[in-house]
Structure 1
Amino acid sequence: MVTSMTGFATETGEAAGHAWVWDLRSVNARGLDLRLRLPEWLSGLEPKLRGRINENLSRGNLSVSLRVQRAETGSPLEVDREGLAVVLKALQEVEAGAEASGFVLGPTGALELLGFRGVLASQDRMEAEPDAAVLDGLVGSFDTALASLVGMRRAEGDALSLVLSRQLDEIGELTARAREAAAERQNSAAERLRQNIRLILDNADFADEGRLAQELAVLAVKADITEEIDRLEAHVGAARELLRAEGPIGRKLDFLMQEFNREANTLCSKSGSADLTRTGLDLKAVIDQMREQVQNVE
């Protein structure tokens, strides 16, 4: 089964006067790379979330973000008295240092103070001990978002599987064409070789005709591409089996693509005919296209 590494999901929820939005986005990666952005007061959820992700995903660069808002009660702005005290103390130290250096700073207004980080109660400091109902709701909605993400990756994987299957069909057809071209080349090359041997033997005196035959046989073996074609056909069969297999197959497919490319390169270097060279280049083009698609397979 082909599963894509690309997908996204969004899930909202609310409980105990809190509302939140989960945002999950996944792209391809060599391994499983996780980036979780949670409010500081909910950082304790991270191990649990990582465990759930590891149970469902094996590869991909996954970004998880959570935004939480608390229902307003009374004034829409709430001053963090501890944070304000820290800012005022720092302000006094700055003013004292400036005065000691001969500088006079202008007065600081209330609006300016409100702009300092920590003066207003932030969402990260909403709860010293998060409410159990909030935690349960957050985890439940995260599970829903994760399931949606997995579903999207599988749906995209189904579409990707069709693309890969078509590309394997094309590789199979080109390999069959290469076999036919190689057979035609072998027949014509054998006839030319026989003619050249007769010409050489008729016009030269060789002390060891057996050695000449051995050297010619070695040249014929070096030019033979039967093994490369056989391996290409075997790789096509192995790739088709992987597309039907359960579990992550991306790394195995990527290895096969390297083998495909190696055989196609060897075929081109040993082709010896224009038709076979064109077929080899067409093979390399399709293999490169398929390799790009494989990079997104989990």
Structure 2
Amino acid sequence: MMRECADGVGRIVELVESHLPQLLADHREKLATKLRESLEAAFPGGFAHISGAELTERVAQEAGLFALRIDVAEELSRLRSHLEELRHLLGEGGGKAGGKGKGSAGKRLDFLFQEMNREANTLGSKAGSLEVTRAAMDLKLLIEQMREQAQNIE
């Protein structure tokens, strides 16, 4: 059952990755709207008197915030790495929990699931769409199911 859950996590990661181009396009549109609203709020008299430096600074601030909010590639990459480690611990990667005994394997799995859950939480907090939010919730459910199974190993 743990392998099936791991496969499910892999499918969800692939699904989110396949939607990244559209998510980026949607976020660009939101950024353009937000930037226009921010400039209108900062300069209610109009844009004619905005210096190039002021405009550049404001655009850089908004672009930086935008990049931080939507970049989930790192979280997806870490989830993939954690999946590789999980498969290794389950014996699919050429070894069985490093040969360290059941208790040790259970603790390693528990730690790994904590890390995976952190990535799923971050993915959910950065979600710019309902699809990514749902994917993050599904990830957390699968991770919790695997964590419950790992407790039986301990």
| CA-to-aligned-CA distance 1:49-106 (integer Å, 9 cap, x gap) | xxxxxxxxxxxxxxxxxxxxxxxxxxxxxxxxxxxxxxxxxxxxxxxxxxxxxxxxxx
Q: Does 1:257 align with 2:113?
A: yes
> Where do 1:143-154 residues align within 5 Å?
none
Q: Distance in 2 between matches of 1:292 and 1:183?
A: 35
For 2:88, the aligned partner's letter is E
**Which residue, 11, 14, 18 being the options, matches 1:180?**
18
| CA-to-aligned-CA distance 1:122-180 (integer Å, 9 cap, x gap) | xxxxxxxxxxxxxxxxxxxxxxxxxxxxxxxxxxxxxxxxx111110000001111222
> Where do 1:183-194 residues align within 5 Å?
183-194=21-32
- Equivalent residue number for residue 272 of structure 1: 128
- Using the size of structure 1 for normalisation, the TM-score is 0.42
Q: CA deviation at 1:286?
A: 0.7
Question: Aligned-pair RMSD on alpha carbons?
Answer: 2.1
Moved more, 212-221 or 252-261: 212-221
Task: Work out whether residues 264 and 284 of structure 1, in 8 Å CA contact, stay in contact via their aligned partners in 2.
Answer: yes
Counterpart of 1:218 in 2: which secondary structure? helix
Q: Distance in 2 between matches of 1:296 and 1:173?
A: 25
Q: CA deviation at 1:198?
A: 5.7
Task: Work out whether residues 182 and 276 of structure 1, in 8 Å CA contact, stay in contact via their aligned partners in 2.
Answer: no
| Structure with the larger strand share | 1
Q: Distance in 2 between matches of 1:206 and 1:241?
A: 57
**Count of residue correspondences:** 136
Q: Does 1:236 align with 2:74?
A: no
Unaligned segments of structure 2, at least 5 residues: none
Task: Work out whether residues 228 and 263 of structure 1, in 8 Å CA contact, stay in contact via their aligned partners in 2.
Answer: yes
For 2:82, the aligned partner's letter is H
Task: Work out whether residues 124 and 133 of structure 2, in 8 Å CA contact, stay in contact via their aligned partners in 1.
Answer: yes
- Equivalent residue number for residue 220 of structure 1: 66
| Structure with the larger helix share | 2
Task: Work out whether residues 178 and 280 of structure 1, in 8 Å CA contact, stay in contact via their aligned partners in 2.
Answer: no
Q: Distance in 1 between matches of 2:5 and 2:79?
A: 13
Task: Work out whether residues 124 and 136 of structure 2, in 8 Å CA contact, stay in contact via their aligned partners in 1.
Answer: yes
Unaligned segments of structure 1, at least 5 residues: 1-162
Counterpart of 2:128 in 1: which secondary structure? coil
Q: Distance in 1 between matches of 2:64 and 2:148?
A: 38
> Where do 1:1-298 residues align within 5 Å?
163-194=1-32, 196-197=34-35, 200=39, 203-204=46-47, 205-207=49-51, 208-223=54-69, 224-244=71-91, 245-246=95-96, 247=99, 248=101, 249-298=105-154
Task: Work out whether residues 35 and 62 of structure 2, in 8 Å CA contact, stay in contact via their aligned partners in 1.
Answer: no
Q: CA deviation at 1:225?
A: 1.2
Q: Distance in 2 between matches of 1:289 and 1:181?
A: 25
Max Rg structure: 1
Q: Which gives a bigger RCO, structure 1 or 2 (Cα 8 Å, sep 6+)?
A: 2
Q: CA deviation at 1:251?
A: 1.3
Q: CA deviation at 1:195?
A: 5.1
